[in-house]
Amino acid sequence: MLAKTDENGDVVRGKYKVIVGLGETGYSVARYFLSTGTQFKVLDNNTAPSRLHDLQALSPEMELHGIDPELLLGADEIIVSPGVPLSLPELQQALKEKLKISGDVAMFGELARAPVIGITGSNGKSTVTSMVGALSRAQIADVEVAGNIGTPCLDVLDNAVKLYVLEVSSYQLELATALPLKVAALLNLSPDHLDRYRTEQDYYTTKGNIYNNCEIAVVNRSVKFQFDIKAETIISFGTDQPGNALHFGVTENAGELILVQGKEELLKAGELSIGGEHNIQNVLAALAIGHAADLVMEDMVDEIKKYKGLPHRCERLGIFNGVSYVNDSKATNIGASISAVEGFGGRGGLILILGGEGKGADFSLLVTVLERYVKKVFVFGQDQEQIKAAVQQVVSVESCSRFEDVIDSVVNAAVPGDTVLFSPACASFDMFENYENRGNEFKRILMEKIQ
């Protein structure tokens, strides 16, 4: 359906905005509009979205509409929630009609009055965002951490804030293409969300939007994809030796890994409270970001030694009957699971649990790391047969129909000295509400089996 036009053929716009999708983000945008007296309508093809009751409690007269082309094309602005693909025909028509289409992060970029740090990447972005938040709060009053990490960014808008630290997803960067950032960091790239993007290159290019309007760019030296970065300063990090005094990396002394900036030793890897090579990279990224944001290095180093990590991200659950158990439910793509396997490989036998909704991923990318580090794989969930077919030539694979069966089988198979790593490499939505629910269920069932 085309937009309404007047007798001159000009599009007639209503004096209202439209929110498409009423999940956490849509509800946050709605609350913001209510606080500013903005007229808006809510569109969602789900007749009972998760936040409808809460919104109607705030605004009893608020109606929920389906994605009605006439309402959509009659708006003066459309705010699309991250979970709603821009490929929807109604949104494609709106783009053709040159309507303003935005998202909550793009709105935030226009409204925030304090410097903003933006962090994205295929893996580790929540961990690094949390780290940078902790480092910043130890030195600056009134720091807010928000975005894809949990709290919608519009919820933390406040003129008293001195610094914002945002985790930004590729979905948010589809619309936040010129986010004004003091520091922008892209931590890493690996194939993900190929059910939403046509190619890996499309996904990587979208991630690169983080750099489009930043003062300082923090880059990973191991990322080969080329971005056109116009930032005033570029700071790099990696697990090799840095090229000059501005960059961050790793050196070795008497068999001990040392994190450095240029030639200056910052701390030993063994002093960190979190383990794994991927977390060394995360710490280097956090220190580079903090340095770019003018934090005091000595104080950052003291603080980072105390950092314990986030739940569901290579979370050590303990050693039971001689077997170590690790909950890495946040590993929703192949790259995250590869990093986890590399981080825990070489410490005795490694048993890996994979499964869920694969999002169109190529599971053969796991073959090299499984062949090197893993003695057995257990698979479950929607795409278990695809995973099994991709890796069974290099590692023993056992399929399980129920999630509880997976944990039963793993507990029975593990022997003292083994490590059981729950790092699914898939999204959770085939069986669970989200990765947190999946990780909590893993922990709950595991504790019932081993106690």
Q: Is the pLDDT of residue 436 over 70?
A: yes
Q: Residue 395: how many CA atoms within 13 Å on its side-chain side?
A: 28
- What is the pLDDT of the chain when averaged over all its residues? 93
* 3-state class (DSSP) for residue 16: coil
Q: What is the CATH number of domain 106-304?
A: 3.40.1190.10
Q: Which residues contact 83 (CB under 8 A, 6 or more apart)?
A: 21, 23, 25, 171
* Tens-place pLDDT, residues 273-319: 887 788 999 999 999 999 999 999 999 999 999 998 888 988 889 99
pLDDT at 4: 52
Mean pLDDT of 241-265: 94
Q: Give which of 334, 20, 295, 332 is closest to 169, Cα–Cα.
A: 332
pTM confidence score:
0.84
* Tens-place pLDDT, residues 217-237: 999 999 989 899 999 899 999
Q: What is the CATH number of domain 17-102?
A: 3.40.50.720
Distance CA 12, CA 223 (A): 47
What is the per-residue burial (b if ≥16 Cβ within 10 Å, else e) of 261-299?
A: beeeebbebeebebbbbbbbbbbbbbbbbbbbbebeeee
pLDDT at 192: 75
Q: Where are the domains of the chain?
A: 17-102, 106-304, 315-450
pLDDT at 451: 79
Mean pLDDT of 327-344: 91
* Tens-place pLDDT, residues 97-138: 999 999 999 999 999 999 999 999 988 999 999 999 999 999
Q: Is the pLDDT of residue 12 over 60?
A: no
pLDDT at 311: 87
Domain made up of 315-450: CATH architecture? Alpha-Beta Complex (3.90)
The catalytic residues are 125, 148, 193
